[in-house]
Chain A
Amino acid sequence: MRKVYSKIESIAGNVITVSAEGVRYGELAEVSSRHGKSLAEVIRLKEDKVSLQVFAGSRGISTGDEVRFLGHPMRVSFSDNLLGRIFDGSGRPRDGGTELVENLIEIGGPSVNPAKRIIPRKMVRTGIPMIDLFNSLVESQKLPIFSVSGEPYNPLLARIAMQAEVDIIILGGMGLKYDDYLFFKDTLEQGGALSRSIFFVHTASDPIVECLLVPDISLAVAERFALKGKRVLVLLTDMTNFADALKEIAITMEQVPSNRGYPGDLYSQLAARYEKAVDFEGAGSITILGVTTMPGDDVTHPIPDNTGYITEGQYYLRNGRIEPFGSLSRLKQMVNKDTRADHRALMDAMIKLYAAYKESLEKKSMGFRMSEWDNKLLKYGAIFEKEMMDLSVNIPLEQALDNGWRILAECFTKEETGLRSDLIAKFWPVK
């Protein structure tokens, strides 16, 4: 039996300090107060002073409450029994089902040896032209949706999840609105996917520290399934809440902030999670689709900024559409060379022309006379937005490519497209 300590020496933010011996860094403890029990994790050791962050928060904890060290770091039960179940941020059932205690695995484990990774090769088809044609999604990719609040990012996430051919879907919810949680549940249920899904959901009303566990717990489980050969899709929404929880702890621990109050290790913290996306040689894979809401619609804010440097691209959702600018799939070139010979060139040419359209639009808004060329671009831009960008469009890639050529031919002469002659000879629609 491990020793129980009953003198909490300081309480600040969600961090408590006790004097204790034989404690290890990262170990868990159980704090019992009048309001119930909570887990807590050791985040600093200094001689016999042990600082712990309390998952349920420190509200209502008194200096006389008991702290019992458990002798192991945070763990989660792993087995097929997880499928179809719904848990909270620290792995307790929130669906009224039984608590799972068998086969406990540590969360937040070491990273994959880069030498054991393989080059991702499989395209994930979504039926959304802005993704399939312009920024193809690839199995084992890590990619967030950048968005402002109010945009339909969760429906988009759910739509991709339902369309993707994966074995298991894990939803990691952080600060999720209860309605959104129900939305995911209903959508997966209606799509018949609930029985191969697992939810780890921290809702907006749960203690903030529990939010910090959600990515690790979701990804630890995903990793085990992937090692067993499963193709796992992990949805993390909203990672901005995760980053804000990190900030809160950092401030409590009096760390020097680096940028707008965020800790200097924000990049490493986010990377430790996103880098769990992987294609295992001879086994399964983990694909991570996240949501990063941008505070103040500012992409240079430290959260989207650091995220963008870590993830393999992002889908920029704005006014209900995936914007061509700002959106990026860094892995697209791994797959779009094998789809169709015109895929890459058409993708680039259409975006370049769309950029030119935006310039013409700006000129127009300033009241300048539109040249013949400007008028062509204006026509093109309007069709492009309707046929390519509108999220209600749901067509296979090949059809989207054909539509692309048709749109170009409707608006431009061959030379105006900037496409190479050999491709034009092959793909330009004959009227």
Chain B
Amino acid sequence: MTETKGRVVGVNGNMVTVAFDGLVTMNEVAYVVVGEKKLKSEVIRIRGNLADLQVFEITRGIGVNDPVEFTGELLSVRLGPGLLQQIYDGLQNPLPELAEKCGFFLERGVYLSPLSEKKTWAFTPTVKVGDVVQRGDAVGTVPEGIFKHRIMVPFSFLDTYTVKSILPSGDYRITDTVAELVDSKGNIHPITMSFEWPVKRPITAYAERLRPDKPMVTKIRIIDTFIPVALGGTYCIPGPFGAGKTVLQQVTSRNAEVDIVIIAACGERAGEVVDTLKEFPLLIDPRTGRTLMERTVIICNTSSMPVAARESSVYTAVTIAEYYRQMGLHVLLLADSTSRWAQAMREMSGRLEEIPGEEAFPAYLESVIASFYERAGIVRLRDGSIGSVTIGGTVSPAGGNFEEPVTQATLKVVGAFHGLSRERSDARKYPAIHPLESWSKYKGSVNKEMTEYGRDILFRGNDVAQMMKVVGEEGTSLEDYIVYLKSEFLDDVYLQQDSFDPVDAAVSTERQQYVYNLIFDVLSTIFNLESKEEARKYFNQLRQKFRDWNGTEWESEEFAGKEKEIRTLIAEKKKGTEELALEILKKVSGS
């Protein structure tokens, strides 16, 4: 606490105005004292001797003249071993421990240590006395589940340091001093296994930022094949309510090929977090043989929890993501929903009586969104290892209209856009990502020319469908009709995927490549079909067989059996192959 004293002079929703004497820092943490309780708050505006605070708790019961204490510290998270598997609220309060202490309900003013101070960790030093280190360099490691958790020189250490002492291998607590460092002026700095970092400041203790060019595999066909995401990239999922944003993120959080997943449940339903919370400890990650929970951190500030803490929650999440990136790990941050975060900003901006922008969002909305996504990236660390933070955020546009400010501001900065469509979700075409409107700037794992060929069929099929609405089926040529059937086929058996089917839910890159080759064959085949009726029936059969195929285990006997049936069915009607496709195939096999 600082010397500064304050007292409440006004309360308006979750904003409290405080008269103070002494020094106050912008964005420092302060506590409003109400009876026995101290309510955590953040200074968000200073005018003369008045400070406006956003209170991270319910403000009921606060009165004029209640005392306010200032800490002088910015809002920070505690970093160190033991973050994985945690379930925190937006301010890093551990929710299960809170439940043990307070029962069913969230009691305000109770703040628990985010990391266990009792637990010991098996420390192995990686430096010796006399070594020279900088911020972000490891002085040792501890095993945290399957990961080697690096114990690093705190990111706030801006000098170059010489190691004066370092503990030998052994079991220590996060608060034990593991090393002493001497700075260039000769001052000694003891360091422990944990330290704090302000959430709104990006961590930049790396050597170089690289271009995101490796795919982040989600095992969702439409994404990996057509609109891929890159490790260290950014993407957004806007969509009207019920279109499938949350389900899409949930399956991604299970199946994505990354080391660590940070889930930021930001201002949406608590029930959705419960699914993850209860199921992840039971689900085995086939890549590691350990439970999914062991690679997951959940930041949970759902819709009925205090709004100001919701605003902080995405920053808490991204800071933890950056921390693990500093260990040479690939981290995926999934935020659901960034619109609720934007709305939290809007509520505060309104209370501050700032001049409102479009739909009453603050004028700085765009720059805040941009700098948040800017915290994603793939980097080379000083020891040469590569780490990344990939950010995927859902957007919940008012009225499902993508023209609104949050969607627009997000689209300006992300590398991929997975737009969900109400039409597709109504027709139960899941995942309801619109295949024509969505885009990605990243490289995927299936040959680009082959996927472009598929996309072209989708566009042409869509044109035919539009035309048929005007001229009817009878006015459509057989050739066009088959293009339409091909596009429907691609949609039905490849773009659509059953998230609740044990096999179909997650499709490996290998399988995607393999299956897409056969899809490509269908798309590029000139078929020997005499009438529209015959064509429709034929494609129904194909669809049926592909669907069944999608449900068979990769490389199983049934898989091979179904494949054979499909190949036979194609061969029966094959007259030839489109010229363009032959050229593409030649190039692919040549390279």
Interface residues of A (CB under 8 A from B): 21-27, 44-48, 73, 108-120, 140, 227, 255-259, 263-265, 267-268, 271-272, 275-276, 280, 300-302, 305, 308-310, 312-314, 324-326, 328, 330-331, 333, 337, 344, 348, 351-352, 355, 362-363, 366, 368-369, 371-374, 415-416, 418, 420-422
Contact = CB atoms under 8 A, between A and B. Distances in A.
Contacts of B279: 119
A300 B400 CA distance: 7
A108 B105 CA distance: 12
B464 to A, nearest CB: 14
A50 to B, nearest CB: 9
Nearest to A48: B64
Interface in B261-301: 267-271, 273-275, 277-279, 300
Interface residues of B, number: 83
B11 A45 contact: yes
Contact of A355 (B98, B99, B361, B426): B426
A372 B398 contact: no
Contacts of A351: 427-428
A275 B59 contact: no
Given A271-B304, A352-B428, A373 B536 contact: yes
Given A113-B95, A275-B304, A308-B241, A25 B63 contact: yes
21 contacts: A21-B64, A24-B60, A25-B63, A27-B61, A44-B11, A45-B12, A111-B106, A114-B95, A114-B270, A117-B271, A258-B360, A264-B350, A275-B304, A301-B399, A308-B242, A326-B426, A328-B242, A363-B472, A374-B473, A415-B540, A422-B551
Given A22-B63, A258-B360, A268-B303, A330 B242 contact: yes
A115 B60 contact: no
B346 interface: yes
Contacts of A326: 426
Contact of A344 (B106, B343, B468, B500): B500
A105 to B, nearest CB: 13
A114 B398 contact: no
A117 B270 contact: yes
B107 A110 contact: yes
A-B pairs with lowest CB-CB distance, top 9: A300-B399, A368-B472, A271-B303, A275-B304, A26-B60, A308-B241, A258-B360, A111-B304, A355-B427
Contact of A267 (B269, B277, B303, B400): B303
B286 to A, nearest CB: 21
Nearest to B429: A352
Nearest to B545: A421
Interface in B1-45: 8-13, 17
Contacts of B346: 258, 264
A15 B30 CA distance: 31
A264 B274 contact: no
Contacts of B361: 258
B350 A305 contact: no
Interface in B311-329: none
B382 interface: no
A126 to B, nearest CB: 20
Nearest to B500: A333
Contacts of A309: 241, 268, 396
